[in-house]
Structure 1
Amino acid sequence: MLNGTDLYALDIDGASFVKACGGPCTEGCVTLARIGEDAWALGDSKRPGAEPLRFTTEELDAAGIDPARFGLSV
């Protein structure tokens, strides 16, 4: 399993982020991209210059974040 150091060592240049909104996307949306076999980057469309947070699939699941909601498969 990847740890925090491993996750942040992964290159996310060129990662394809997808938005998921809980309502009207006027206030910003959560963005998610697969960045590795068991690795994801989670961003905020309101802060596009901020470094996305990185998670394993297990961590996303524990947080209740389903990649399918973004149109992504695990």
Structure 2
Amino acid sequence: MPKSNDLYALDLTTVTFVQACGGPCTEGCVVLARLGDNAWALGDSKRPDLEPLRFSSEELSAAGIDPTRFGLAL
């Protein structure tokens, strides 16, 4: 599992964020991108200027976030 510091060293310029919403998304939605094996970036579509948070797959699961809801494979 990558260490937290290692996750923030991963490049975001080539990843594609996808959005998952439970409603019309008028208030913004969570966006998620796979950064690599066991590495994810989680952001807010309302605040694209803020750097996304980074998580390992285990941390993402512990937070109750399922990448398949975003159309991403585990």
So what's the TM-score if we normalise by structure 2? 0.97
Q: Please state whether the residue corresponding to 1:46 is helix, strand or coil.
A: coil
* Aligned residue in 1 for 2:33: 33
Correspondence 1:16 to 2:40:
no
Residue segments in structure 1 that go unaligned for 5+ positions in a row: none
So what's the TM-score if we normalise by structure 1? 0.97
- TM-superposed CA distance for 1:23, in Å, is 1.2
* Aligned residue in 2 for 1:5: 5
Distance 1:59 1:8 in 2: 14
- TM-superposed CA distance for 1:22, in Å, is 1.9
What amino acid sits opposite 2:71 in the alignment?
G
Residue segments in structure 2 that go unaligned for 5+ positions in a row: none
Q: Please state whether the residue corresponding to 1:58 is helix, strand or coil.
A: helix
Distance 1:54 1:23 in 2: 25
Length, aligned pairs only: 74
Q: Please state whether the residue corresponding to 1:11 is helix, strand or coil.
A: coil
Q: Please state whether the residue corresponding to 2:68 is helix, strand or coil.
A: helix
Give the percent of matched residue pairs that are identical in Structure 1 and Structure 2: 70
- TM-superposed CA distance for 1:27, in Å, is 0.3
